[in-house]
Amino acid sequence: MGEGSTDTPQGVGHGGIKVGHVPVLLKEAIDFLAVRRGGTYIDATVGLGGHSLEIAKRLGAPGHLIGLDKDPAALEIARRTLSPASNRPDWPTITLLHRSFAEIANDQRPGNIDGILADIGVSSLQLEDAARGFSFQAEGPLDMRMDPRSELTAEQVVNHLDERELADVIYEFGEERRSRRIARAIVRSRPIRSTAHLADVISAAARPMNSEQRRIHPATRTFQALRIFVNRELDDLQALLKAPPRVLKPGGRVVIISFHSLEDRIVKDAFRDGIKDKYFRVLTKKPVMATKEESDRNPRARSAKLRAAEKV
């Protein structure tokens, strides 16, 4: 799915268009994007189409909205979300593509885009499908691929990396201090074929030692690390952030929503470099967070951080 949206059920949207979910920080993202009527916009992680629907309402004809996603299942839902109004004369052209957002930099002509939005991370669609293997809360295969065309699975990582490499992955991408202990337990328990088995191995090896560790399931950071590694998420994010200086029009905006510190740090550094090179004006001195009301309604929103910048 869009490399990230954390979505909650919703009802019927603008003009009778059915909306299947409400993405995190929806109002804030659309406000910072400042959609120009008739412009060209990229939703780099179209997901189930929630952000795209709001962009399309403001874009109108003869605007063009390009939606990308690695996950074909998410794209199919986005197509249904966006199609009911596709024949309206005031509706923009919408192009949905099964691609990683990392490909933006190569796909667009310089200075052709008015705005880019990316909502990075795993989605409820992926987490709630046990067959996808993203969650330790349900029995499923160790897959974790956002794009089913990808070759590398979490099962291959868990069962074939040597202990030191596995510990490095868990530490680097999960920021897990108990990475060496967890990697040792995993190697001793091979073969591991299911999410439940892996979660049990991690829980036995990494019993919480302090209040911070007790707040989250012992497997949380390791599952995050495996997902990021399997899907090359940080590499893709860095590739995405190379695109705005080249493809945005002057005054065009880029809005990124991230869900953990590794991603947010990459976005913050890229925007800071943009200030130094005099092609960005940062619009968010600090990351924008979800309100208490939104966090109460959708617990996954608690970790969301939004940053925005404008091309100068």
Give the pLDDT confidence score for residue 289 in this predicted structure.
Answer: 97
Residues 131 and 164 in one domain: yes
In a shared domain, residues 239 and 116? yes
Same domain, 117 and 254: yes
- Residue 166: which CATH number? 1.10.150.170
List the domain range (segments joined by +) for residue 220: 126-232
Query: Are 286 and 247 members of one domain?
Result: yes
Q: Are residues 75 and 158 in the same domain?
A: no
Mean pLDDT in residue range 132-151: 94
Question: Is residue 115 located within the same domain as residue 242?
Answer: yes
Min mean pLDDT across 133-147, 184-198, 200-214 is at 200-214
Task: Check pLDDT > 70 for residue 14.
Answer: no
Instruction: Report the pLDDT value the prediction gives residue 110, as an integer from 0 to 100.
Output: 86
- C-alpha to C-alpha distances, 73 to 8, 49, 125, 148, 231, nearest whole angstrom: 17, 12, 9, 10, 16
Residue 9, in any domain of the structure: no
Say if residue 250's pLDDT is above 70.
Answer: yes
More confidently predicted of 2 and 179: 179
Whether residues 134 and 220 share a domain: the answer is yes
Q: Which residue has the higher pLDDT, 197 or 123?
A: 197
CA–CA separation, 77 and 166 (whole Å): 35
Q: Is residue 291 part of a domain?
A: yes
Could you tell me which residue, 298 or 52, shows the higher pLDDT? Answer: 52
Mean pLDDT of all residues in 301-305: 94
* Ramachandran angles phi, psi of 116, nearest 5°: -130, 130
Domain boundary among 209, 232, 255: 232
Statement to judge: residues 247 and 146 lie in one domain:
no
For residue 207, being part of any structural domain is answered with yes
**pLDDT at residue 1 in the model:** 40
Q: How many domains does the chain have?
A: 2
Q: Which two tokens stand for residue 193?
A: 């074929």
For residue 184, being part of any structural domain is answered with yes
pLDDT above 60 (res 20): no
Choice between 123 and 26, residue whose per-residue pLDDT is larger = 26
pLDDT at position 3, please?
A: 36
Which pLDDT score, from 0 to 100, does residue 155 have? 98
Would you say residue 262 lies in a domain? yes
State residue 309's pLDDT score.
98
Q: What percent of the chain has pLDDT over 70?
A: 89
Residue at which a domain ends, from 210, 232, 254 = 232
CA 171, distance to chain mean position in Å, is 20
CATH number of the domain encompassing residue 83: 3.40.50.150
Residues 18 and 121 in one domain: yes
pLDDT at 2 over 90: no
Residue 5 has pLDDT above 50, yes or no: no
Output the pLDDT for position 8: 35
Confidence of residue 87 (pLDDT cuts 50, 70, 90): confident
Is the pLDDT confidence value at 235 over 80? yes
Examine the domain organization and report whether 22 and 118 are in the same domain.
yes
Q: What is the pLDDT of residues 95-116, one digit of tens each?
A: 999 999 888 767 778 899 999 9
193-223 confidence digits (pLDDT tens)? 999 999 999 999 997 666 666 678 999 999 9
Cβ within 8 Å of residue 160, ≥6 positions away = none
Report the C-alpha gap between 255 and 135 in whole angstroms: 27
Over residues 261-272, the pLDDT tens digits come to: 999 999 999 999
Residue 4 lies in a domain: no
pTM, 2 dp: 0.89
Residues 131 and 278 both lie in one domain:
no
**What phi, psi does 288 have (nearest 5°)?**
-80, 130
Residue that terminates a domain, selected from 195, 212, 232: 232
| Residue 5 maps to a domain | no
Contact 102, 40 (CB under 8 A): no
Is 213 a member of any domain?
yes
Across the chain, mean pLDDT equals: 89
Same domain? For 156 and 285 the reply is no
